[in-house]
Chain A
């Protein structure tokens, strides 16, 4: 089975979903990411869905699960690049994905993550 590649970008992991995923592929991604966050000690996860034309409740659930698991492993998840039509449909579907951070593109997502890192380092210095 094909897998979605996970790239390392400094202290963050970047996943770019470019195919219409079937359910097993989505579940595999969830597992792979969890493993990789733990193995690399990544502080952030960027999931770029700008190529996705459809996000249904299953993919929504996957995004939600990734965000929750990564939070437990002390990594922040940012979903980036959701298309307008997809966003409207998700809201209509009743999936507003509370607790997931979002950004317009990968660059802005990275900024969001590094701001969080700086704040965390500030904490350390104060102690």
Chain B
């Protein structure tokens, strides 16, 4: 899927910038304060995963207007080592790095739609959508 705006994730400062930009977008789309906080938090988890496990990558921010519904979709992509067992990675408490192991599962719970595609040696792509 193309369209939207592409942002680099190469440092932990970029993670902060992603949070701020997602916040600004969600605000402009008229998300409630709780919904804003949920998608910003999910974005923070995924941006950090992209940086820590994927060795850096990108996020694409896409504003969705589907009839009466408004939403925000974020697509994180890296060319890192990939996730061997995605089922296990989604389970709470699983972590191969820092954090409490709530990154992927947490991001899924904070979104309305969640999609994870990972190939060993090729990289990982996570897409989340939150509707207003």
Direct contact of A and B (CB under 8 A): yes
- B106: chain A residues at CB < 8 Å are 57, 92-95
- B103: chain A residues at CB < 8 Å are 57
- A61: chain B residues at CB < 8 Å are 98-100
The count of chain B contact residues (Cβ–Cβ below 8 Å) is 28
Place the interface of chain A in its size category.
20 to 34
Name B1-43 residues within 8 Å CB distance of A.
Answer: 12-13, 15-16, 19-20, 23, 33-34, 36-38, 40-41
B109 within 8 A of A: yes
Q: How far is the CA of A92 from the CA of B102 in the complex (A)?
A: 11
Main secondary structure of the interface of B (DSSP, over half): helix
Contact indicator per residue, chain A 77-116, by CB within 8 Å of chain B (1) or not (0): 0000000111011001111000000000000000000000
Q: How far is the CA of A64 from the CA of B20 in the complex (A)?
A: 24
Q: Are B37 and A86 in contact (CB under 8 A)?
A: yes
> In this complex, which of B37, B40, B45, B48 has the most chain A Cβ atoms within 10 angstroms of its Cβ?
B37
Q: How far is the CA of A64 from the CA of B23 in the complex (A)?
A: 25
Interface residues of A (CB under 8 A from B): 20-24, 53-58, 60-61, 64, 84-86, 88-89, 92-95
29 contacts between A and B (CB under 8 A): A20-B16, A20-B19, A20-B20, A21-B16, A22-B13, A24-B12, A53-B37, A54-B19, A54-B23, A54-B37, A54-B41, A56-B41, A56-B48, A57-B45, A57-B99, A57-B102, A58-B98, A60-B100, A61-B100, A85-B37, A89-B34, A89-B110, A92-B110, A94-B92, A94-B102, A94-B106, A94-B109, A95-B102, A95-B106
